[in-house]
Each structure stands twice: as structure tokens, then as C-alpha cells.
Amino acid sequence: MAYSDVCLDVFLKNQGRLFDEPVAETREEAAEVLEDCMAQVLPTIKAVRKWLDESGMDVTGLTDEEIRDQAEVFPLPDGSFLIVEG
């Protein structure tokens, strides 16, 4: 999957919410990490909720804001979401 520059920049800036120490310093390294983690870009919070549920997370009762605050969820400026499994 090809990740947009915006997506890569958001991951680089916020990778500390998922990893204890930086795993990438450049866009190229970020793209490699995202590919290795099989990261997904999902269009809506509803799609994120469904993806998390199908991945085994109990999302029952979580608000959309609580979903956005999950470590593996990276909100993107266009309203979509990057999902990265650590």
C-alpha cells in the first residue's frame, strides 16, 4: 500500500503514542514500518470501530472520542484514520 506524505508525517510526529522509542526518522522509514505493520487507512470512525471490533477489541460502550484516543488510531487531517498495530 502506498501511504500519502500527510499520512507518513502524522505517523512520524505521533509514533510515540504507540512505540516507546522512535521506530522511524524519515518518510521512507515510516513507510517501511507501516508496511511491516500492515497499517490501514480507513475513511470514517465507524470503519475504525468495525475494524477494531473485528480485530478482537471490545469496543462496546466506547465513544467515538475514546476510539480516536486508542494508541493504534492516528487521526488524519482529512478526517480519515491511519490504523497501526504495534
| DSSP of 29-59 | HHHHHHHHTT-EEESSHHHHHHHHHHTT---
Residues 31, 70: Cα–Cα separation, whole Å? 21
Q: Read off the pLDDT of residues 27-61 as tens digits, 9 standing for 90 and up.
A: 999 999 999 999 999 999 999 999 999 999 999 99
Task: Kindly report the length of the chain.
Answer: 86
Query: What is the structure's pLDDT at 78?
Result: 96
Query: What is the structure's pLDDT at 86?
Result: 66
Centre a 10 Å sphere on the Cβ of residue 84 and count the other Cβ atoms it contains. 21
The residues spanned by each domain of the chain are 5-83
Q: Read off the pLDDT of residues 54-81 as tens digits, 9 standing for 90 and up.
A: 999 999 999 999 999 999 999 999 999 9
Could you tell me the pTM of the whole model?
0.92
Query: What is the structure's pLDDT at 1?
Result: 80
Q: Read off the pLDDT of residues 3-14 as tens digits, 9 standing for 90 and up.
A: 999 999 999 999
